[in-house]
A and B are shown apart, each in its own frame.
Chain A
Amino acid sequence: MRIPCPYCGARDAHEFAYLGDATVTRPDPAAPDAEDTFFDYVYLRDNPAGPHSEWWYHASGCRQWVRVARDTRTHAILGTELARKPAGDAA
């Protein structure tokens, strides 16, 4: 499988480490229901047959976390973007 890294270009999937679901967001730890929301965040996962948003880490490349849209049925990569925009231009 080849993954188009937004920084490095198309790379072999071996260069990446897979984490999984990128649709979940770390909950507010101060919220009163934090224990429940964290339980869902840590354990509850959808398993869609089709497009899925996933975290892949470009371990052998630019060491960026990349949000990869992948079709779980075909492994087709529908798009990629960096988790964090470059340090940038502001200020």
Chain B
Amino acid sequence: MLQQIEGSKAVAETIAACMPDVVCAYPISPQTHIVEALDELTRLGKIGNCQFVNVESEFSAMSVAIGASATGARTYTATASQGLLFMVEPVYNASGLGLPIVMTVANRAIGSPINIWNDQSDSMSQRDSGWIQLYAQDNQSAADLHILAFRLAEELSLPVMVCMDGFILTHAMEEIDVAEKELVTKYLPKFTPRQVLDPVDPVSIGAMVGPEAFTEVKYLGHFKQLKALEIIPELSSEFEEVFGRPAAGPDNYKGLVTKYHLEDAEVVLVALGSVLGTIKDAVDNHRKNGVKVGAMGITSFRPFPLDEVRKSLKHAQKIVVVERAFAPGIGGIVSSNIRTALSGIDIKINTVVAGLGGRPITLKSISELVDRALYGTLPDFSFMDLDVELVERELERNLLTRRSGPMAENLLKDLGTR
């Protein structure tokens, strides 16, 4: 039913409609509203016999999720930021064991400096963890992608992360069609595990594997990821048949990428997550002035749809990748994946790091990016709206004084005395 509802609440209600057997989580901003709502829905008996396990840390959250999933339970958890980092060891175990856990990452920056606001450095840090990663462009798709995620996870026996921008989506109230349970039941069959800890038919899960088969187990993990590139389009089209809308939001193509005015676009902006909305508005504004701009969103970042990205971008003249995280010491994370997709094709790719630690990505700044890309004045790698004066003051201080003091505190002091 279409309702005006908070993103977190819509996700919680959607998870409830997926009828998980176990929800285990440790609260952390900005994921809190999701798990609070699920705790309540469980207590009210709205999710059948679902067990809500309020664990004492994220490490335990993922460990309980692994245990639950291994007994054949449909299992869900959610986290963000430091919480995701705290559970990293079992995160890798979950994918290595092939357990179809679904986890929401309510994207938030990683400290230090400590920061509770949005960027995507948390989920980006886990891009090589073996989990599938889907990025939501709006709250409708954030909710819907979870239904697809359970189906995909269980079909492949591989865990799936649904990444939604913290605060920007989790705390936004807007119109969302929360999937009806009857339709979800139709789309998402009962979970039939490939492996299960069952006293009647005992097995052990989690063997130590030496050089004789470790490569092969890892190869199969990679193989399943690539298999997902075939399955996601099938599940997406089935989703659309059942629910009457695309799982990954407007303008989405096969659940893999979002294509907005790419047909004749000379400049293409590439991004993941909620910033696509602002980018689409910028594209419309530029198109009104006759500028051939387009946008591409990546829904499935892992597996990375190399072929789709290549097909979508190969006719562009300039590509600007807007990234909410980066790899210090080299630059863009998404950009390097785009370069892999376009290998052998000569297209200028600029990387712009934007929206770190909650800095708003404004329509004005996005529009300026397009202009600078057109005029060729955009550096290969840059930070959107960087306060150059603030940075230079600290660099100067470092030159002049050996004991220049703590960096973050210095910058805050400088800001306070402006």
Asked if A pairs with B, the answer is no
